[in-house]
Structure formats: structure tokens, C-alpha cells
Structure 1
Amino acid sequence: MRWKNRPEGSNWGDFGHDDQLGRLNLLTAERIRAAAREIRTGQRFCLSLPLDYPGGNGLNIRRHPPVLRPTYREGIAYVNFPLVKVDPRATDVLSDDQVLLSLQYSTQWDSLAHVGALFDADGDGVPERVYYNGYRPNADILGPVDYREDDGFAAHACGHDHSRANALGIETLAEHSIQGRGVLVDLAEYFGREFRTIGYDDLMRAMEAHQVDVESGDILVLRTGFAEMVLEMQREPDPHRLHNSCAALDGRDERLLQWITDSGIAAIAADNYAVERFPAREAAGAAPALPLHHHCLFKLGLPLGELWYLRELAAWLRSHRRTRFFLTAPPLRLPGAMGSPVTPVATV
């Protein structure tokens, strides 16, 4: 067993000691059949930004836009390539490419390996680095550097330059297939593009105004207008303006976090950056810098989606007095990845 203590308010072990799905376990066949009943017209909406948005790296200095390049054979680029050059009888023209892609640059899912915490899981009185359900750095989530607790987290090279999540990787979510009932809360319709940090009271007020009901196994989808602003900026994002506009969840609101626990939702996706307000409100003493990520990814195993595009779907649902839809949103089945681009599809 990987842990003796589990974080207060967590569900570690509830789905099994080796569980890597967390709240996605609630996406049962029964819940998916119920979600399928939301398909009444067959109309579909793409919920992804173009994956070269937001543009540049102003929103996150570590993440860069995708770079497309041809594939090569013997130094020859295979784009618009006449195959007759290698086979005199061939009449084909081939184009084939590859991409250098930051997996969490644009519309994305976070895997459960994305955010862990310092927590005394082994009961020795000393907090150590740990992820959902007790999975560990170096043993389960590998990187090129080992930050060792016993020498103040000094960096020690591991002799390689790659990374890999041998547990909690994004492929686990892909294999389970993220599909179910999406429930939209249109914060942009209720609050506009006002800079507002949304706690429990604000969320309940918006849900009541739009007659939104959430059930166990639903996927909560939040529209704030942020992704629409990103699109309007045409790949030249203004970080100051973006980070001072629109709603974002208050990860320090304990009542909001408790509602996420009690609601039974399987995942949260939003059209903004990080889902929660970052930087978060000041906390007394040691505390996670990303408290909503801490609660969802680390404690509950509840995936978070970011930078989804929701304008057309929201308009359609509003005009038809609906808030629910059938959602298909599997990440890439990329073994070892800690996040993934996604092209979610809403079917109504």
C-alpha cells in the first residue's frame, strides 16, 4: 500500500488502492445511457479552440505554440512530394507532417499526474511529494531531475532528459473514454466579462437563475467568456487584460470545494485558464498555490479541462432553454503524458 494517511476530505482508496481514475469512476454505463438521452436533434458543437491559440507564450512562459514540420526521408521533406521520385510507376503525391506540441498549450485536459502536493502520506511525520492515491515522484512520475526531500529539494540529474507518468498518465483517462452528460453554467451570461472570483454563493446564484441541476457523474462545464476574448485577440493575447477580466472559481472557498465533493461531479471543464483564479487569495500559513487543483486533482482525482470554447453551444442551449448535453471529450491516448489537447464535441 502506498499510503497510511490520506488527505482530509480526499477519496483515496474509495475506488480501490490502485485506482488511477478518481471521480471518472462515476461515469458508469448507466450514467452514459442517461447522458445519451440529451441527444434530441443530433446537432454538434466543437468545443475546442484552434490549437495554436492563445498565441505566443504570454499566458505561460513554459508553453509555446505548436510547430508543424514535414516528415523526412533521407533529407527529403515529404510535403507535396511526387512519389514518382522513388517509384517510377507511382502517380501519388504525398504530404506528411509532425508537430512539436506543448500538451497543455490550448484546449486541454489535466491528467491526475499534473498536480501533487507535499503531504505526509507514509505517516512518518514528514511531508513528502505525493500525487492522487499515493503515487510518487521518481517511482511513478518520472522526470530528468530528482528533487530530494532529504537535502532541501536540491536538484539531482537523473541521467536522462525525458519525462513519463508511469501512473496517473493521460492514457488512463483516454482508455476509460471521457463521455457523459455535460452541464453548462453560463457565468458569462450572468456576470458578463466582469473580473469576478466565483465562490459558492455566486455559483449557486448563477445556477439557480439558469435553472441548472447537477447530478452525480455529470461533467460541469463553465463558460466565463475568457476563451472568446482569446479568439478576439487573434493570436496576440494581452495577458494583463485577460487576467483582469471574466470569472474564475475561488479555490480558497471551502464551501465551494465541499460542494464539488458533495455534488458527485466527475470532472470540471472551463473556457478560462486554470479554471480557478490564479494567483489565489492569500492564505494563512502554508497552503497550495492552486487550491482548486489541489482539491480536485490531488484529493479527489477529478480531472480539470481548460481553455474550452463554449460560445455557440451556450447560445444554442440558452435559446432552447436547456443546460444539458451529451459530451464526448477523450484526451489523446499518449502513454506517459501528464496532460493532453482535446477536441470536445457537444451533441444536443
Structure 2
Amino acid sequence: MSVRDTSLTEGEVLRFFTSLSNWGRWGDDDRLGTLNTITDEVRAAAAASIRTGRAVSLSRDIDPRTPDPLASGNSVVQRFTGTNEVEEHFGRPLRFDAVTEFVGIAAHGSNTHVDGLAHYSWDGHNYNGFPASETTSLGGARKLSVHHAALGFLTRGVLLDIAALHGVDWLGRGQPVTPEDLTAAERRQGVTVRPGDALLVHTGNAARILHEGPDAVGPAARQAGLHASCLPFLRERDVAMLGNDGVQDVQPSGYGPDLTRPVHTVALVALGLWLVDNMELTELAAVCREERRWEFFFAALPWRMVGVTASASNPVAIF
């Protein structure tokens, strides 16, 4: 099947679980998935590409006053507590004070976050055949925790600006990004996605929601994003990480409820492809145009939290 074919039936998408699978490719006990493509050589080459040192953050603030700016789910509840332990220890008032806080965070949601390989399952299995039952509310993710990505995502980043390809600030709600869009953006920008890359796809989705507000909440919201037909492109290019200024998938997906988010499901389960949702890519797109470069050093460091399926992150692009 051509990666340019967007007229996929649900049955054809389901076959991607087999035809695009990376299960066993890096060993039966592999926990890293596509992070295996970020080799020492890939990291060194990416670092050597830095020219000016100009840096761009690809995340928004995590703000408890606006915990769900994209209507994708609350991201944080924060509580502050003043501390008096020092004063109590010395038995008198001191000239300095300190504050500590408790932060409760739901990484999946409107904030920029890394999706780990335990996040989605299909027919009772996660990536590489690990049982989905290994992830529980009490025990956490025992096989595919985010902490396995301890080396982070340090690689070449490539931005494909699909909004600019169509001459708009943001794509229409529910507008799919096709494989033809991806390859046309490569040609327009003079860049080619290659193994080990962090591929970032700019649709303008987050900017549109922040400007106009969401039209619905969660899976009911119409959002621009990748069509399921892009999955062979991701597998053939051996992308290490996929980032998007939305939830990756076009919504609605065009398929039944089992494939509400086929890019999420096939990417995480079959490819072992790590995802970064709800990135801030508007400034990056502008800087890429100014620099006339759509490739850069990319760094995202998820927290080394054991037993979790996601981590908040502040990815950075360096030119």
C-alpha cells in the first residue's frame, strides 16, 4: 500500500498493527521502542548542527489558574504551604522564610506532555506484546514506564509546517494531514525526515483553540491532525518521536469507536513510537522561517518517574 493512499478502510488500518509492527525488532524485552533509533551517532550529529545557539521553548506554562486551556483535560492542581520548621527549630522568628508546595499533576491533558508506551493498548497488549494488565491503578506501569526514557529525546528535530503549506495560520477544525502533505512540506522546505528524527507537525491547532476556544471537550472536539494514512510514513522513515500541536490524530478520525485515535493507538502499540502532545509550535514555525532552517537540535527530557504512562515536559529547539 502506498503511503500516499488516504482512502483507507477500517480493515486496512487494523492491518497496520501487523504490517507496521516493531515488536521484537530490538529484542523481546525491549522497552524503548523507537528511541532505539536515537544512537550515539545520531545525537552527536544533531549536536553538531547547532550554529547560532538560538533556543525556542515548545511548551506553554503549566498554570493552575488555567488548568485546561485546550479542553483536553485538567493538567495540574497546585497547593502552596508555608513552612515554619526552621523557626520552630531555633525557637525564635528568623529574617528568612521558605515556602514549599505540593503539586498534583495529570500529565495527560492540555499541557505539553510525553506519551509513554504503556499509555495505549490494543486487544489487551501494549508495545512489544507486554500485557496491558501489567499497568494497574495500584502498581502503575510495571513494564513500559516513562522512566525507561531516562536518556530523553536528544536528536535532530524537523518541523513540517503544514499550516504554511496551505497558506494559513491554522488548519480547519477536523482537517486531516495526509502523507501527501508531509512529503509536499518536505519538498517546500528542502528537508527530509530520516531515522532517529523527532518529527514535529505544525497544524496551528493549539493556536486556534487558544484564539477561538474549543468547540467541544475531549474526543468530541474537532481538531486538525494526522490521518491514519500517515502511519506508514512514520514507520518507513523510522521516526524516533512524533510531536504535534494537538493530540496527533485528526478528530473525528473517520473510523469507528475502536479507532477514535488510530495514530495514537497504532503508533504507541505497534510501532513503539513515543508521542509528545499539545506542543507549542507557533513560535518555532516563525523562527524556522526567519532562520530559513526547518531542522534543529531537539531536546525533551521526561521526568524519571517510575510506573507512569506520561510525563510533563518542556521540549526545546536549538538552532
TM-score bracket relative to the smaller structure = 0.7 to 0.9
Rounded to whole Å, the distance in 1 between the matches of 2:159 and 2:68 is 29
Alignment of 1:322-341 (within 5 A): 322-341=293-312
* Deviation for aligned residue 1:279: 2.5
Describe the shift of the 1:240–1:92 C-alpha distance in structure 2 as closer, same or farther (beyond 3 A): same
* Deviation for aligned residue 1:57: 7.9
Describe the shift of the 1:325–1:290 C-alpha distance in structure 2 as closer, same or farther (beyond 3 A): same
Higher mean C-alpha displacement, 222-231 vs 304-313: 222-231
Rounded to whole Å, the distance in 2 between the matches of 1:19 and 1:169 is 12
Letter in 1 for 2:125: V
From the CA coordinates, give the structure whose radius of gyration is larger: 1
Letter in 2 for 1:102: A
The Cα offsets for residues 205-229 of structure 1, whole Å up to 9 and x where unpaired, read as 2222222211111110111112223
Describe the shift of the 1:194–1:58 C-alpha distance in structure 2 as closer, same or farther (beyond 3 A): closer
Rounded to whole Å, the distance in 2 between the matches of 1:291 and 1:241 is 19
The Cα RMSD (Å) is 2.4
Alignment of 1:98-137 (within 5 A): 98-105=102-109, 106-118=111-123, 129-137=124-132
Alignment of 1:173-192 (within 5 A): 173=149, 175-191=150-166, 192=168
Structure 2 contact 171–205 (Cα < 8 Å) conserved: no
Rounded to whole Å, the distance in 1 between the matches of 2:290 and 2:272 is 34
Higher mean C-alpha displacement, 319-328 vs 6-15: 6-15
Which of 249, 262, 269 aligns to 2:243? It is 269
* Partner-residue secondary structure (3-state), 1:18: coil
Rounded to whole Å, the distance in 2 between the matches of 1:30 and 1:65 is 36
The Cα offsets for residues 89-108 of structure 1, whole Å up to 9 and x where unpaired, read as 65431111111111112101
Match of 1:197 in 2: 176
Match of 1:69 in 2: 79
- Say whether 1:141 aligns with 2:135: yes
* Partner-residue secondary structure (3-state), 1:217: coil
Rounded to whole Å, the distance in 2 between the matches of 1:290 and 1:95 is 42
Match of 1:208 in 2: 187
* Deviation for aligned residue 1:204: 1.6
Structure 1 contact 186–224 (Cα < 8 Å) conserved: yes
* Partner-residue secondary structure (3-state), 1:171: helix
Letter in 2 for 1:44: A
* Partner-residue secondary structure (3-state), 1:239: coil
Higher mean C-alpha displacement, 183-192 vs 45-54: 45-54
The Cα offsets for residues 175-206 of structure 1, whole Å up to 9 and x where unpaired, read as 13211110001112222223221111122222
Rounded to whole Å, the distance in 2 between the matches of 1:230 and 1:58 is 6
Match of 1:282 in 2: 255
- Say whether 1:166 aligns with 2:142: yes
Letter in 1 for 2:306: P
**How many residues matched?**
294
* Deviation for aligned residue 1:317: 1.3
Describe the shift of the 1:230–1:278 C-alpha distance in structure 2 as closer, same or farther (beyond 3 A): closer
Alignment of 1:315-326 (within 5 A): 315-326=286-297
Match of 1:307 in 2: 278
* Partner-residue secondary structure (3-state), 1:112: coil
Rounded to whole Å, the distance in 2 between the matches of 1:19 and 1:310 is 31
Normalised by the length of structure 2, the TM-score is 0.85
Rounded to whole Å, the distance in 2 between the matches of 1:93 and 1:287 is 54
Structure 1 contact 11–300 (Cα < 8 Å) conserved: yes
Structure 1 contact 35–326 (Cα < 8 Å) conserved: yes
Match of 1:122 in 2: none
Structure 1 contact 221–270 (Cα < 8 Å) conserved: yes
Structure 2 contact 67–77 (Cα < 8 Å) conserved: no
Normalised by the length of structure 1, the TM-score is 0.78
Match of 1:152 in 2: none
Match of 2:5 in 1: none
Rounded to whole Å, the distance in 2 between the matches of 1:110 and 1:222 is 16
Which of 217, 232, 250 aligns to 2:196? It is 217
Match of 2:232 in 1: 258
* Partner-residue secondary structure (3-state), 1:313: helix
Describe the shift of the 1:65–1:300 C-alpha distance in structure 2 as closer, same or farther (beyond 3 A): closer
The Cα offsets for residues 57-94 of structure 1, whole Å up to 9 and x where unpaired, read as 8724xx324121124xxxxx42xx58434423654311
* Deviation for aligned residue 1:25: 0.3
Bigger proportion of residues as helix: 2
Letter in 1 for 2:240: A
- Say whether 1:22 aligns with 2:33: yes
